[in-house]
Amino acid sequence: MKRIRILTLLSVLAVALSVGLLPGVARANGGGGSQNQVTIQPQAEYIIAGATIDVGLYVKCQGGSGEVVVNVTQSPPQTPYPMAAGSGPQTVVCDGQTHSVAVTIAGFGFDAGTAWATADLTTGSPTVVAHAQRSINIVVVNG
Q: For the chain, list the domains and their CATH numbers.
A: 26-141 (2.60.40)
CA distance 21 to 25: 7
> What proportion of the chain, given as a percentage, has pLDDT over 90?
55
Closest CA to 73 of 36, 124, 101, 113: 113
Is the predicted pLDDT of residue 51 greater than 90, yes or no? no
Nearest to 68 by CA among 22, 109, 37: 37
Q: For residues 22 and 134, is the Cβ–Cβ distance under 8 A? A: no
| 68-78: burial string, b at 16+ Cβ within 10 Å, e else | bebbbbbeeeb
User: pLDDT tens, 105-124?
Assistant: 987 889 899 999 999 999 98
Higher pLDDT, 55 or 5: 55
pLDDT bracket for residue 143 (50, 70, 90): low
Is the predicted pLDDT of residue 47 greater than 60, yes or no? yes
Res 59 pLDDT > 50: yes
Residue 108: which of 133, 89, 80, 135 has the closest Cα? 80
User: Ramachandran region of residue 96, left (φ > 0), alpha (ψ -120 to 50) or beta?
Assistant: left
pTM, two decimal places: 0.76
Q: What does the pLDDT look like over 1-38, one tens digit per residue?
A: 333 333 333 333 333 333 333 334 444 444 445 689 99
- CA 71/CA 78 separation, integer angstroms: 17
